[in-house]
Amino acid sequence: MQTLEENLRRLVNEACGYPAGSPQRQKRLTQIIRLAAGKLWKESTPYYQDALQQTWLYFCANVCGAYDPARGSVITWLNAYLRWRLQDFYTQQREENAKKALPSVNQSASGDRIETIYPEDKLPASPDVPPILETVKSWAEEDINGELRNTYIKGHPHVNCQVLILKRLPPEVGWKELSVEYNLPVSTLSSFYQRQCLPRLRYFAEKEGYL
């Protein structure tokens, strides 16, 4: 009987043996997500679901180019990326709070901006666009019933779920950049995304069989 890790590695090998966009690859990626979902790191932070979503999207986009079995198990690789993303959100929130208390906290003694670099930022992105990303992007762009466009931050109809979901798809735009673009606090954008946009995205992903 194969262990979970043996099953995951087998599915990864099989998925990567098929062309990007093929039903065969999509089927195996979905199987991997379902098998691994219950084994990933969990915590109760408000941005956990956002980080988890980014982890699955990154996985589908990069597993065939970035995952190296020699460096650890599939679960370990996924957990490492998930924790990097969680740390990213934590750092963004901490910097946002620090700016309110001390505007110069993000500068070094010489006045240069200090930027946090995460290991996954150096990983080469796969040139292939996996079906899950194409499907999610098409769903958000088409927004057939207008639900995403009509769900927006009060007083800011241009900052809606359609815009934010598309902005957060890989390669995602950071919350700090979005804060500057829309002149809204990171906390406001992130909270709205967590409460209004993610549930709609998750419902769509579940209906399509991705989660």
The two three-digit tokens of residue 36, written as one number: 């691994």
Higher pLDDT, 65 or 55: 55
- Please tell me the predicted confidence (pLDDT) of residue 115: 39
Q: How confident is the model at residue 147 (pLDDT cuts 50, 70, 90)?
A: very high
DSSP code of 79?
Answer: H
Q: In which band, very low, low, confident or very high, does the pLDDT at 11 lie, cut at 50, 70 and 90?
A: very high
CA atoms within 13 A on the CB side of 171: 7
Question: Looking at residues 117-122, what average pLDDT do you find?
Answer: 39
Summarize the confidence of residues 82-111 as an average pLDDT: 64
Cα distance between residue 124 and residue 130, in whole Å: 15
- 67-71, 88-92, 151-155, 180-184: range with lowest mean pLDDT: 88-92
How far from 208 is each of 30, 108, 136, 148, 205, CA to CA, in Å? 10, 47, 10, 17, 5
- The average pLDDT across 73-96 equals 82
Q: Which of residues 130 and 7 earns the better pLDDT score?
A: 7
Question: Residue 46: pLDDT band by 50, 70, 90 thresholds?
Answer: confident
